[in-house]
Amino acid sequence: MIMNASFIPRLWARISASWKARSVTSRVLLVGVGVILIAVGVSLCRSFRAAPKALERRLYGEEIGRNGLRYKHGAHIYNPETGTILVDSIEWLHIAPGDTIAILAKNHRRAFINLNTAELITPLDYDKAWQFACDRGIMSRHDSLFIFRRDGSQVNTTGLTARNQYEYLFYQNSLVLHVDYDHVGLLDTAGCWVLEPVYSKIETCYNRRLYNTRLGDECIVYDYNLKPVLRGAYKAIEVDWSEGLIATEHNGIQRLFDYEGKLVYQVIYKRIEPLDYNTGRKDKDGDDIYEETDCYIYVDYNGKRGLMDKHYHVLTPPLFYSIEAQTKHVFFASFGEYSDRFGTLIDDHGKALR
């Protein structure tokens, strides 16, 4: 519809006439109602604009714990219901997935904090800290370790000496602990030695639930109940993730055991390689002619090489990085590679030549 140019003046004339026809009381009431409606509208607009800002002020940072507290990274922990800051001047907070006990760093010190209450459960008086595992957390002060329960109480009042280790986490209720560079033991959650710190090696094999250890001249593999699975005066025992236990004798021969310590194969090899030598003759195309020697090269589990005859009898231990034929009966066996390469000459019986 096209609006006539005289429409607005005529509408205004009608409103003016209607207003004049009303009583003074009616006029006052209409003005009052209008003022009230305007005030309500202004108030509602302000509320709608302010509500998101208030919500934003109350809900910032990361929710922590189970009681709705929040943490602003590198700043503080606060209660969003009251706006109260509960812990301030935080350097950082380490929270393990799903845990309600965290490591708090403040003023270059460490403490454990309960994320449900924002209360420190230990004094803020430690140099380093590691997250809880098996309901035990560990902190250090002046190179001494202290073990804590989840309520903040200490397992050991006297600090434990530890060296040569960057991580302290309990696993299967046990902690591998190096007391110095040459000795390591196994602690339980009560802080008692279940394996005294007289071992030179304790490795945790997580996927097979085993401890691979060395005690003096003996290699011992324990299960998590500390029952010996395999032990002997081997040069080394390695726990293969899928095949079993590889025991290496001092002469380099390797044997395969299953994960319960039962012998599977008396001798094992990674592969067998042919050993050819250059005859010094040329073919019709001018290429060198190579022929087989009377020996093979075998490669062990660790990639070292040894010599065996055509009947697969071992002639040398797997001591070498490489074996190269010089003639049909003489071989150069090297102990290193590149700039570290050196070696010796051996014959096809495995005997060293002088």
Long-range contacts of 230-239 (CB under 8 A, 24+ apart): 230/257, 230/261, 237/212, 238/212, 238/301, 238/302, 239/203, 239/205, 239/208, 239/210, 239/212
Q: Distance between CA 292 and CA 325 in Å, rounded? A: 10
CATH of the domain at 104: 2.40.10
What CA–CA distances, in Å, run from 224 to 135, 209, 232, 274, 320? 18, 6, 19, 43, 36
pLDDT at 322: 92
**Which amino acid would we find at residue 65?**
G
Q: Which tokens go with 60?
A: 């910032």
Using only the alpha carbons of the chain, give its radius of gyration.
Answer: 40
Contact 132, 170 (CB under 8 A): no
The set of residues, in sequence order, having a beta carbon less than 8 Å from that of 27 and lying 6+ positions away, is 19
Domain end position, chosen among 125, 157, 174: 125
Domain assignment present for residue 318? The answer is yes
Domain assignment present for residue 292? The answer is yes
Count the helix, strand and coil residues of the chain and give each as a percent rounded to the nearest 5.
15, 45, 40
Domain end position, chosen among 83, 104, 125: 125
pLDDT at 201: 96
pLDDT at 45: 60
CA angle (301, 304, 310) in 5-degree steps: 90
Contact 40, 47 (CB under 8 A): no
Total domains present in the chain: 2
Domain end position, chosen among 125, 142, 177: 125
316: exposed, middle or buried (Cβ count in 10 Å: 0-12, 13-18, 19+)? buried
* The pairing of beta strand 128-133 with beta strand 288-299: unpaired
pLDDT at 165: 83
Per DSSP, the residues of 229-297 read: EEEES-SEEEE-SSS-EEEE-TTS-EEEE-TTS-EEESS--SEEEEEEEEEEEE-TTSPEEEEEEEEEE
Beta bridge partners of 93: 104
pLDDT at 354: 82
Contact 142, 150 (CB under 8 A): no
Contact 159, 145 (CB under 8 A): yes
pTM over 0.75: no
pLDDT at 24: 59
pLDDT at 51: 47
Domain assignment present for residue 311? The answer is yes
Q: What is the DSSP letter of 103?
A: E
Residues of the chain with pLDDT under 70: 1-35, 37, 39-58, 338-340
pLDDT at 251: 83
Q: In 10 A of CB 348, how many CB atoms? A: 19
Domain assignment present for residue 283? The answer is yes
pLDDT at 143: 86
Q: Distance between CA 177 and CA 164 in Å, rounded? A: 9
How long, in residues, is the chain?
Answer: 354
Contact 229, 260 (CB under 8 A): yes
Q: Which tokens go with 327?
A: 């003639």
Long-range contacts of 9-14 (CB under 8 A, 24+ apart): none
Domain assignment present for residue 33? The answer is no
Domain assignment present for residue 176? The answer is no
Q: In 10 A of CB 239, how many CB atoms? A: 20
Domain that holds residue 104: 59-125
Q: Distance between CA 95 and CA 70 in Å, rounded? A: 13
Domain assignment present for residue 261? The answer is no
Domain assignment present for residue 113? The answer is yes
